[in-house]
């Protein structure tokens, strides 16, 4: 089994880290630069930075914060929010990001995935998907989870892979912020369809949830936010626990 990853996520609004439940009722969670530095010291495997209102506010990602975070960490760093062109992605990579996450723009213009993979390599392209169960179908949502689309999640992940995505960041809107566990059924279905890594997002609240994400959901990485921001679970402690359960982890 390949080494699994634990990834804290910084959801950014107005320059501050925020966190809500089911994408609603956002509350302040601290300074993104200070949090990033703490997570890098606490053995986080990677960091994800999402400017969650950039798309709905019709603006680009806050590059100055990306630069500040990049100076503080020595782990892989994925940045998304408001990215709609090769120029946008290039600016973020120049600012210190190693990977670029695209969501709404990829749904609107799927060819952007092809273009970014060609320009930067698939390893730099993360397709982020906000998925919500509607009836009996998992449906892709855009604009920070505000707007449902006609795209079915299972079909979209396969198209994203075929177009050159190197990784899928799959957020269950139904589980987001609930701390009740990850969407393991959905993650397992997605994993059976594609051959690129899946980052499970939405619902992590206890150490057992991360065990389940890897052992039941078959995810390659697990992402969480508030439990790390508010020191409910330490990343190093979590990784030691998972390692003790036979899940391969980087511990130094």
| pLDDT at res. 21 | 53
Point out the residues that are catalytic. 11, 130
| pLDDT at res. 226 | 86
| pLDDT at res. 23 | 44
Under a CB-based contact definition with an 8 Å cutoff, are residues 4 and 16 in contact?
Answer: no
Beta carbons within 10 angstroms of residue 26's beta carbon: 17
Q: Is residue 250 part of a domain?
A: no
Cβ-in-10-Å burial (0-12, 13-18, 19+) of 42 comes to middle
Q: Is residue 220 part of a domain?
A: yes
Q: Is residue 249 part of a domain?
A: no
Q: Is residue 12 part of a domain?
A: yes
Under a CB-based contact definition with an 8 Å cutoff, are residues 12 and 43 in contact?
Answer: no
| pLDDT at res. 29 | 59
| pLDDT at res. 1 | 67
Residues of the chain with pLDDT under 70: 1, 19-29, 52-61
Under a CB-based contact definition with an 8 Å cutoff, are residues 214 and 191 in contact?
Answer: no
Domain limits for position 22: 5-244
| pLDDT at res. 28 | 64
| pLDDT at res. 24 | 47
User: What is the residue-wise DSSP string for 26-83?
Assistant: EEEEE-HHHHHHHHHHTT-S-EEEEETTTTTTT----HHHHHHHHHH--S-EEEESS-
How far is it, in rounded angstroms, from Cα 9 to Cα 203? 13
* Count of positions (residues) in the chain: 252
- Identify the sign of the CA torsion 13, 16, 20, 25: negative
What are residue 7's phi and psi, to 5 degrees? -130, 110
Beta carbons within 10 angstroms of residue 239's beta carbon: 23
Residue 221 is encoded by which pair of tokens? 């990485």
Distances (CA, A) of 196 to 8, 82, 127, 132, 232: 20, 24, 11, 21, 31
Q: Is residue 194 part of a domain?
A: yes
Nearest to 108 by CA among 151, 145, 146, 78: 151
User: pLDDT averaged over the chain?
Assistant: 91
How many domains, in total, are found in the chain? Answer: 1
| pLDDT at res. 61 | 62
Assign residue 57 the CATH number of its domain.
3.20.20.70
């Amino acid at each position: 089994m390949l080494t699994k990853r634990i990834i804290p996520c910084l959801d950014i609004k107005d320059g501050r880290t925020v966190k809500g439940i089911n994408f609603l009722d956002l509350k302040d969670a601290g300074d993104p630069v200070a949090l990033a530095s703490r997570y890098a010291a606490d053995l986080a495997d990677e960091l994800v930075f999402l400017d969650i209102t950039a798309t709905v506010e019709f603006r680009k990602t806050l590059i100055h914060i990306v630069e500040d975070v990049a100076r503080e960490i020595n782990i892989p760093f994925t940045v998304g929010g408001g990215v709609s062109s090769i120029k946008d992605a290039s600016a973020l990579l120049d600012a210190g990001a190693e990977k670029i996450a695209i969501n709404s723009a990829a749904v609107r213009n799927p060819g952007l995935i092809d273009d970014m993979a060609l320009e930067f390599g698939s390893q730099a392209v993360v397709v982020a998907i906000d998925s919500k169960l509607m009836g009996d179908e998992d449906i892709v949502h855009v604009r920070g989870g505000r707007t449902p689309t006609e795209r079915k999640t299972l079909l979209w992940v396969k198209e994203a892979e075929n177009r050159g995505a190197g990784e899928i960041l799959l957020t269950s809107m139904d589980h987001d912020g609930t701390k009740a566990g990850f969407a393991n059924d959905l993650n397992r279905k997605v994993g059976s369809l594609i051959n690129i890594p899946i980052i499970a997002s939405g619902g992590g609240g206890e150490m057992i949830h991360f065990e389940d994400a890897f052992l039941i959901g078959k995810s390659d990485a697990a992402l969480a936010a508030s439990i790390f921001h508010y020191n409910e679970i330490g990343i190093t402690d979590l990784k030691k626990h998972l390692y003790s359960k036979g899940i391969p982890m980087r511990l130094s």
